[in-house]
Amino acid sequence: MSGEFAAPKGVPDYFPPASADFLAVRNALTDAAHRAGYGHIELPIFEDTALFARGVGESTDVVSKEMYTFADRGGRSVTLRPEGTAGVVRAVIQHGLDRGQLPVKVCYSGPFFRYERPQAGRYRQLQQVGVEAIGVDDPALDAEVIAVADEGYRRLGLSGYRLELSSLGDDSCRPQYRAALQEFLLGLDLDEPTRERARLNPLRVLDDKRPAIREATAGAPLMIDYLSDSARDHFDRVRGHLDRLGVPYQLNPRLVRGLDYYTKTTFEFVHDGLGAQSGIGGGGRYDGLMGQLGGKQELSGIGFGIGVDRTVLALAAENVSVAGDPRVQVYGVPLGGAAKDELVALAARLRDKAVAVDLAYGDRGLKGAMKAADRSGARFALVLGERELDAGVIEVKDLRTGDQQEIALDSVVDHLAARLAGDPATE
């Protein structure tokens, strides 16, 4: 590390060429959502602190330990968004989107902030692509949301992941289950912080990774055995749809999500090549969130958040390269001032034709400039010196084959556009 400043602890930078993978992942995931009718939504990076406290839940780690909260200059308590669902529901209520066509289907991407202990795959500024479908409580929609995430991963070429699925029940059965679990947990010999957690948020105890707690809770009651008829029917239908869609899943009755708003279907995509931070995406249905955030209608919603950073890491762990595209298609090598004037203008004409072009700036010799051309990933180098300029031609070198041709300057734009047709477009 060098220099006086570094990015904040636990915050990754993405820069070329690796940033092309980041963009490719984000685009593949948002494209999958757009193909299923999810429209783009752009929301604030910070919101009223109370929105998250109430929406995500006071007793969650996210709210109680991980939020970036501060008073703005007007004395309002604001928080850098730790997740996207609460903000989407807030916007749906604020703008009356729930009075239009239902479900409201939106997709978002961007940074989220959690003050977690940094480690591989766990960042304090993390990137997600998320979708939310609000207003229709239809198991087919649960399956669609899951299938969109699965399609996004598959299109990227990811294969070493699995989908874990569960149901957290609803108002008609969750309170009974919670009470049964609490009674079971409080009957165990637990340390005081764990007992306190069992009192506040008993489900979280099932997520404890310590072997002793795992062993002690092995026989804990499971939500899946407490589902009411309607919650079970919903879950069975989701499973039927997933089977028909060919999306494989494993039931995980101990699946615990870190946010409080979930009801009914919950799921997580897990990748085994990532070590401890194996969750590459997750989500579920939320029946009560809209009511909790002050909505007049209590509409149910379902969505996912996919970790872009972790998906990039998962692809790297599988040795899958998603951004094979070169940064530019053509690289200009001017030899002398007059040649540079001409190439600067030619580059603009090529870019007008959607050809991606870069030039050797500064006064580099032929050797250094050709090296830069090779490194740029371009398919063609354009070499222009005084001799060519006088003759009204330019040297076009195919950097893959080494072939070289002299082309008339006034036809080189069409010549290149034709030869590049069919080459992959650049980011």
Closest residue by beta carbon to ligand HAM:
307
Residue closer to ligand HAM, measured from CB, 66 or 342: 66
Q: Could you tell me which residues are beta bridge partners of residue 383?
A: 333, 395
Both tokens of 45, joined, read 């990076």
Q: How far is the CB of 102 from ligand HAM (least distance, A)?
A: 17
Among 87, 152, 303, 326, binds ligand HAM (CB under 6 A): 303
DSSP SS3 for 78: strand
Stretch that binds ligand HAM, among 187-195, 306-314, 327-335, 341-349 (CB under 6 A): 306-314
DSSP SS3 for 96: coil
Residue closer to ligand HAM, measured from CB, 260 or 309: 309
Q: Could you tell me which residues are beta bridge partners of residue 398?
A: 380
Q: How far is the CB of 338 from ligand HAM (least distance, A)?
A: 52
Q: How far is the CB of 280 from ligand HAM (least distance, A)?
A: 5
Q: How far is the CB of 390 from ligand HAM (least distance, A)?
A: 58
User: Which strand ranges, in their side-by-side order, compose the sheet holding 46-48?
Assistant: 46-48, 77-80, 68-71
Q: Which residues inside 105-164 make contact with ligand HAM, applying CB under 6 A? A: 114, 116, 121-123, 126, 128, 130, 132
Q: How far is the CB of 185 from ligand HAM (least distance, A)?
A: 23
Q: Which residues inside 223-282 make contact with ligand HAM, applying CB under 6 A? A: 258-259, 279-282
Question: Is residue 55 at the binding interface for ligand HAM, with CB under 6 A as the rule?
Answer: no
Residue closer to ligand HAM, measured from CB, 44 or 424: 44
Q: What distance in Å separates the CA atoms of residue 91 and residue 94, rounded to the nearest whole number?
A: 5
Q: How far is the CB of 251 from ligand HAM (least distance, A)?
A: 19
Residue written as tokens 């009560």? 288
DSSP SS3 for 111: strand
Residue closer to ligand HAM, measured from CB, 128 or 194: 128
Q: What distance in Å separates the CA atoms of residue 55 and residue 69, rounded to the nearest whole number?
A: 15
Q: How far is the CB of 243 from ligand HAM (least distance, A)?
A: 22
Q: Which residues inside 276-295 make contact with ligand HAM, applying CB under 6 A? A: 279-284
Among 87, 135, 169, 305, binds ligand HAM (CB under 6 A): 305
Both tokens of 210, joined, read 């310590």
Q: Alpha-carbon torsion 96, 97, 102, 108, what sign?
A: negative
Among 90, 234, 310, 379, binds ligand HAM (CB under 6 A): 310
Q: How far is the CB of 83 from ligand HAM (least distance, A)?
A: 3
Q: Alpha-carbon torsion 316, 322, 324, 326, what sign?
A: negative
Q: How far is the CB of 258 from ligand HAM (least distance, A)?
A: 5
Shortest CA distance to 169 belongs to which of 266, 58, 70? 266
Residue closer to ligand HAM, measured from CB, 143 or 382: 143
Q: How far is the CB of 119 from ligand HAM (least distance, A)?
A: 9
DSSP secondary structure string, 13-61? ---TTTHHHHHHHHHHHHHHHHHTTPEE----SEEEHHHHHHHH-TTSH
Stretch that binds ligand HAM, among 217-225, 302-310, 367-375, 389-397 (CB under 6 A): 302-310
Among 309, 342, 388, 395, binds ligand HAM (CB under 6 A): 309
Both tokens of 408, joined, read 């008339």
Residue written as tokens 């008993």? 202
Among 87, 202, 307, 377, binds ligand HAM (CB under 6 A): 307
Both tokens of 281, joined, read 């995406």
DSSP secondary structure string, 240-308? HHHHHHT---EE-TT---SSTT-EEEEEEEEEGGGTT--EEEEEEEESSHHHHTT-SS---EEEEEEEH
Among 304, 339, 379, 412, binds ligand HAM (CB under 6 A): 304
Q: What distance in Å separates the CA atoms of residue 182 and residue 177, rounded to the nearest whole number?
A: 8
Residue written as tokens 């060519």? 388
Q: What distance in Å separates the CA atoms of residue 212 and residue 284, rounded to the nearest whole number?
A: 29
Amino acid at 255: L
Give the count of residues interacting with ligand HAM (CB under 6 A).
26
For helices 308-317 and 139-156, angle between their N-to-C axes, nearest 10 degrees: 50
Q: Which residues inside 328-387 make contact with ligand HAM, applying CB under 6 A? A: none
Q: How far is the CB of 212 from ligand HAM (least distance, A)?
A: 26
Site string for ligand HAM, 64-93 (x = CB under 6 A): -------------------xxx--------
The total number of residues written for the chain in this structure: 427
Q: What distance in Å separates the CA atoms of residue 395 and residue 390, rounded to the nearest whole number?
A: 13
Residue closer to ligand HAM, measured from CB, 69 or 405: 69
Interacting residues toward ligand HAM by CB under 6 A: 83-85, 114, 116, 121-123, 126, 128, 130, 132, 258-259, 279-284, 303-305, 307, 309-310
